[in-house]
Chain A
């Protein structure tokens, strides 16, 4: 790749390029719309890079293949969309429990059930609350542009190994399917020593290693859960959010991913009309940027959370701002496609709200 190379890419392709540049060498997938460009790209890219691509028999199997490769300390990934990610939750819980690094991409579509293949943010709870069984969390990165789809996927691998934890990249059908120019970053050289202290590679002459999530001895599981919780707390160092025209704003719109980007257009339009509105776009959904929101609340801002679901992230917003404010909510029904104009009226209404 030449320096400063730019490519015109779909979000899905950007995710795949990001993974490749991050040193991903094993990809396990199963087709589901709207993310098929990712496994299609990886089926060639992994082999060309001397790695492995497997089209698994199911999402269950793909996620468990990921578990196996991750336990070996290899940079590996799977991608899917909502119903497929539900199937992956079993392995994600096991990977969190046994501290296996892995990257899982979810191009969120409409649900529940089979729903539709259009965009939605209905998997926010599933992504940020663990999703599978047990007390665990995964880092969740939510790109709002195709460039971010590339950058955040690259970052996801570093974070997965830094914390020995699964990392979710949560996009949706809009991010996955739209095309934008992307400034490509040079491929990283993955250190041969990555994961050396824990990865499985055959015991050689050292003591054997066990990667497991079963802890039956007295107090052992409590100890593991304590350790995991401390890790999730430490992840707060990774918190990211975009603040757009919030300084003098009376009302702050809170929205993430593609809805964040649509809302940004609305905010721009309303600013042009002299309305004091701004945008706060969480980029890490877990850990949630609650401190920054609390600061804004303390400064007397009002809030309106906009999501492409029936009210999920708004819970986190309300928890963050509760001492000083509340957040109104405007939900776009999964199955509907919003435009910037659709947000004008709800934002203006929230702006008129007393507090």
Chain B
């Protein structure tokens, strides 16, 4: 076989979406922030939203999202991305507005902002990366930290009596009146990543169709602060996280014309 014909047989499975910067990310090996970024980038491209997207970035390891996702972006204070997104969407209703937030950001300091944004049915999409820990600040306990999980601020393991139960955001958001779509996926294997993309697509569609608020929780690894290698971290998602945070759709009114 000649070299030329070998080349012809190559199948290009996927390319870097052009909306992603051609640069290495700062994330730790095995971190799923990169996977989540990639899914968002693919969808913005496939859904032809790149040119009209305004991204609201949050505090945490993903604060540099704007260095990787080449769209107009504004940086929000810790937890306030849903309020900032509300302002953006009200100011520019024709734009596609996205927030990207970690669990410390969204489920702790920003709990009021996310719940009210959802409840108002703001036409925005929220990507919620749940890695059960505060990554950027060095692995402290998050509202989503699992019972028994050790972090730097619950060194003996999270204890229900002391720290309460891990908070289930996809379920909580589903219970709010303005939510049109709320779901949870995981990023630990190809099958789950495919499901994550499907959920994200629906969440984005409920915005583009003007139906209301869309929310997707993504169970993600933080190998560094879990003190695990990437493979073990992926396994932990399967064996420890998914049993407590079940995957699936918690609310989907996208076929019922949304909430208004």
Contacts and interface: CB of A to CB of B under 8 A. Distances in A.
Interface stretch (B72-80, B190-198, B225-233): B72-80
Contact of A64 (B51, B84, B90, B91): B84
A70 to B, nearest CB: 7
Contacts, number: 140
A242 B159 CA distance: 63
A65 B86 contact: yes
A65 B72 contact: no
Given A56-B83, A61-B80, A200-B54, A67 B72 contact: no
Nearest to A75: B91
Nearest to A97: B75
A54 interface: yes
Given A91-B80, A205-B51, A26 B71 contact: no
B77 A26 contact: no
A184 interface: no
A90 B83 contact: no
A72 B91 contact: yes
B215 to A, nearest CB: 17
A68 B84 contact: yes
Given A202-B53, A202-B54, A203-B51, A64 B70 contact: no
B86 A54 contact: yes
B87 A57 contact: no
B75 to A, nearest CB: 4
Nearest to A67: B84
Contacts of A270: none
Interface in B203-239: none
B116 A68 contact: no
Interface string A30-50: 000000000000000000000
A208 B86 contact: no
B182 interface: no
Interface residues of A, number: 41
B66 interface: yes
A68 B75 contact: no
A202 B52 contact: yes
A69 B74 CA distance: 10
Interface string B38-62: 0000000000001111101100000
Contact of B113 (A64, A204, A209, A210): A64
Nearest to B85: A68
A28 interface: yes
B88 interface: yes
Contact of A76 (B51, B91, B95): B91
Q: Which interface residue of B71, B72, B95, B116 has the most chain A CB atoms within 10 A? A: B72
Interface residues of B, number: 34
A211 B75 contact: yes
Contacts of A52: 90-91
B92 interface: yes
Q: Which interface residue of B92, B116, B120 has the most chain A CB atoms within 10 A? A: B92
A70 B76 CA distance: 12
A209 B72 contact: yes
Contact of B91 (A26, A60, A62): A26
A276 B70 CA distance: 66
Nearest to A207: B70
A126 interface: no
Contacts of B71: 202-203, 208
Contacts of A90: 77, 80
A91 B77 contact: yes
A72 B90 CA distance: 10
Q: Which interface residue of B83, B86, B87, B120 has the most chain A CB atoms within 10 A? A: B87
B102 to A, nearest CB: 15
A94 B75 CA distance: 9
B176 interface: no
Nearest to A208: B70
A94 B77 contact: yes
Contacts of A201: 54, 72, 92, 95
Contacts of A57: 112-113, 116
B199 interface: no
A312 B148 CA distance: 52
Contacts of A245: none
6 contacts: A58-B112, A67-B77, A68-B84, A202-B92, A203-B71, A212-B57
Interface of B: 50-54, 56-57, 63, 66, 70-77, 80, 83-92, 95-96, 112-113, 116, 120
Interface of A: 25-26, 28, 52, 54, 56-58, 60-62, 64-74, 76, 90-91, 94, 98, 200-205, 207-214
Given A68-B85, A94-B75, 11 more contacts: A54-B86, A60-B83, A65-B86, A67-B80, A72-B87, A72-B92, A200-B92, A201-B72, A201-B95, A202-B71, A209-B73
